[in-house]
Structure 1
């Protein structure tokens, strides 16, 4: 009887932890991303489906407070400017909980976007529901999707956090070039360097 009770306990714990509905499996290369609907600093709601003619999507999880994210703001803006005419849509998503990091509040996001002249939608992940789906762990953390929302690249934007002028490997741009050529990005994944996402336990 004790053996049976122990077995039942093991099975129940396994199912509770292994198949919990609120812990989505992070995207891997080749997975198809689920669409979302998030509010931007311009007051509008944005979804991937809004961009019917997009050739691909550059999704960057970033925020206001993180020093790593700040070092990439201009580079992210430049990416949006460069690739929009080529049909790629860049969407930046702030995944941080503002109750844990006040600098990441929606009002602060609006101010930051205005100060920096962001040319892309700066979205807020209210309720922190989207970043776990992607498996984002840092700010910044980049994801490249093709026009069918299939994940093609995950990781860092480039290989030099501190200096844009000293970048040797433009991982994200190289991945876009591969996508344009019908090739597989190499590498497909890199390690994102940045601040941990501020999330409620």
Structure 2
């Protein structure tokens, strides 16, 4: 009887492990089907900036690409990266790759991410780039953004804005002085030089989009 119980428990454990593994695989594959992948063409959008103007990628005639960064006011990870996002725009906008920041959060769920609060945050931090409100959450699902911050590097080509890199800004959200891998800078530098980007994707670290 005792041996039978042990065997029964082992069988249940094996079934549970197999089911978990299958579920994880399905979830992983399903997530890969959501949003843009590297090599895809990103559609343009028209979103309201904190200054009240509507902004589209097509507004930037001289751009060579874009750093589309989904971020917000309230997430501690997003706050930790704000100065680095400002620095990225200051470095790459003169080279034709401006930052386009987009707040994807629903203010009915996260009131601190409402449009009025966005205006306050942009003024407080001195944002030098567009900070757009994804009202109705129509844009971030197309990109497949899941975190704040979440970066999508686009290259402007004759056939459209092509996705070149997706993921994190760097490998240390806690301390900018302790960063080993500057993923976004490496990706933009490679793109501008016409070189292969490596890595093309990294795991975005941040708060889930609300």
* Separation of aligned partners in 1, 2:58 and 2:178: 36
For the pair 1:165 / 2:177, whether they are aligned, the reply is yes
Deviations 1:63-90 (A, max 9, x none): 0110000000010011111111111121
Match of 2:199 in 1: 187
For the pair 1:154 / 2:166, whether they are aligned, the reply is yes
Helix, strand or coil: the match of 1:85? helix
Which of these residues, 81, 87, 105, is aligned with residue 72 of structure 1?
81
Runs of 5+ unmatched residues, structure 1: 1-23
Identify the structure with the greater helix proportion: 2
Deviations 1:28-73 (A, max 9, x none): 0000000000000011110000011101100000001100000000
Which of these residues, 87, 91, 101, is aligned with residue 96 of structure 2?
87
* Separation of aligned partners in 1, 2:127 and 2:117: 14
* Separation of aligned partners in 2, 1:42 and 1:121: 9
The structural deviation recorded for 1:25 is 3.8
For the pair 1:34 / 2:58, whether they are aligned, the reply is no
Match of 2:17 in 1: none
| Higher Cα radius of gyration | 2
For the pair 1:52 / 2:64, whether they are aligned, the reply is no
For the pair 1:136 / 2:119, whether they are aligned, the reply is no
Match of 1:14 in 2: none
For the pair 1:111 / 2:120, whether they are aligned, the reply is yes
Moved beyond 4 Å, runs of 4+: none
Deviations 1:119-140 (A, max 9, x none): 0000000000000000000000
TM-score when normalising by structure 1: 0.86
* Separation of aligned partners in 1, 2:110 and 2:136: 14
TM-score when normalising by structure 2: 0.82
Helix, strand or coil: the match of 1:111? helix
* Separation of aligned partners in 2, 1:184 and 1:110: 37
